[in-house]
């Protein structure tokens, strides 16, 4: 037995006449009325579900595109983090401490010593006798006396010998002061030459020593600066490599956070879409009317209306 025949029989029994008696006056008591309304509910629900399906598909497409765009950055960040971890375990980014390696130490030049000074000593009779001026004048005077004696035929006479002796004594007395002065002058000159030579040697030594110390300090300073610059260069290179890897690892970390936000947003939106689907299906089910479920209620109402119209 069909739903339509059950419905018709129920209506006829209640109102005492066939279904056709109320079709014009009570159209909502026709089962076709319920079927038409339910079809409208289904159509509306289907349209809403189709729109949600498109939204779900578009959300997934956008999520896939976003994840696809982010993955290269995430992979780069992972590789950089791996290299950073590997390098830190092996001290590849540690330049260590600066340790200046000095070359050979400084040694003063060897002083060759002062010049030899020989003092000619105090003036003596021997110095007088060896004085060239005294010897020259003595010789010239003796020759003059001897020539004069020879001319007189008294060359070997006692008078001549006495004259030679007196001349020698006089000459010694006369030349002693001159010879002494010459001796003292020579002695002073020799001392002055020695002092000058010694000062020159010592001055040259100090000059060489100062030059050597200055050159040593310059070389030491240059060596220190060179080693320090090399150390700073190595440290900067290591720091630069560390910074570049750390920055790339940071990009990967940020990309991971962005992916988490993207996934969270996607999950939230899709969850809301699925909830909306469930709500639409629930509303469809709750909104539909069943003739058999409502037959008593609508029949009583229909009877009252029918009788009111026909009284």
Residue 305 has pLDDT above 60, yes or no: no
CA 40, chain centre distance (Å): 73
255 against 130, higher pLDDT: 255
Spans of all domains in the chain: 1-117+210-311
Residue 147 has pLDDT above 50, yes or no: yes
24 against 164, higher pLDDT: 164
pLDDT of residue 178: 78
Spatial contact of 123 and 180, defined as CB atoms under 8 Å apart: yes
* Averaged pLDDT score across all residues of the chain: 77
14-28, 46-60, 126-140, 205-219: least confidently modelled range: 14-28
- Residues whose CB is less than 8 angstroms from the CB of residue 45 and which lie 6 or more positions away in sequence, other chains included: 280, 281, 283, 284
Residue corresponding to tokens 């040697």: 201
Q: What is the mean pLDDT of residues 177-199?
A: 84
pLDDT of residue 247: 95
2 against 54, higher pLDDT: 54
pLDDT of residue 73: 92
Task: Report d(CA 138, CA 178) in Å as an integer.
Answer: 14
pLDDT of residue 254: 94
Residue 96 has pLDDT above 80, yes or no: yes
Residue 272 has pLDDT above 60, yes or no: yes
Residue 275 has pLDDT above 70, yes or no: yes
Residue 21 has pLDDT above 50, yes or no: no
Q: What is the mean pLDDT of residues 176-187?
A: 80
Concatenated DSSP letters of 178-242 = HHHHHHHHHHHHHHHHHHHHHHHHHHHHHHHHHHHHHHHHHHHHHHHHHHHHHHHHHHHHHHHHH
pLDDT of residue 123: 74
Residue 113 has pLDDT above 70, yes or no: yes
72 against 288, higher pLDDT: 72
Q: What is the mean pLDDT of residues 154-168?
A: 69
The proportion of the chain whose per-residue pLDDT surpasses 90, expressed as a percent, equals 21
32 against 7, higher pLDDT: 32
């Amino acid at each position: 037995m069909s739903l339509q025949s059950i419905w018709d029989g129920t209506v006829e029994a209640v109102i005492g006449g066939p279904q056709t008696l109320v079709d014009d006056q009570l159209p909502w008591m026709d089962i076709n009325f319920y079927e038409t309304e339910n079809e409208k509910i289904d159509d509306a629900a289907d349209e809403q579900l189709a729109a949600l399906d498109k939204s779900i598909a578009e959300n997934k497409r956008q999520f896939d595109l976003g994840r696809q765009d982010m993955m290269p950055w995430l992979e780069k960040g992972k590789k950089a983090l791996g290299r950073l971890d590997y390098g830190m375990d092996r001290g590849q980014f540690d330049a260590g401490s600066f340790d200046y390696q000095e070359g050979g130490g400084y040694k003063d030049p060897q002083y060759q010593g002062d010049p030899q000074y020989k003092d000619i000593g105090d003036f003596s009779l021997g110095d007088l006798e060896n004085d060239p001026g005294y010897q020259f004048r003595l010789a010239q005077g003796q020759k003059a006396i001897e020539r004069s004696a020879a001319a007189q035929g008294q060359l070997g006479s006692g008078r001549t010998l006495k004259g030679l002796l007196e001349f020698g004594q006089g000459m010694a007395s006369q030349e002693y002061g001159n010879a002494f002065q010459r001796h003292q002058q020579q002695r002073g000159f020799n001392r002055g030459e020695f002092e000058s030579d010694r000062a020159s040697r010592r001055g040259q030594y100090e000059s060489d020593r100062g030059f050597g110390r200055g050159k040593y300090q310059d070389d030491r300073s240059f060596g220190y600066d060179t080693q320090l610059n090399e150390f700073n260069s190595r440290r900067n290179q290591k720091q630069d490599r560390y910074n570049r890897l750390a920055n790339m690892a940071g990009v990967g970390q940020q990309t991971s956070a962005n992916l988490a936000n993207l996934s969270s947003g996607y999950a939230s939106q899709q969850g809301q879409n699925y909830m909306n689907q469930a709500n639409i299906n629930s509303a469809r089910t709750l909104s539909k009317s069943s003739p058999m479920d409502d037959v008593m209620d609508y029949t009583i109402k229909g009877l009252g209306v029918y009788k009111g119209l026909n009284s």
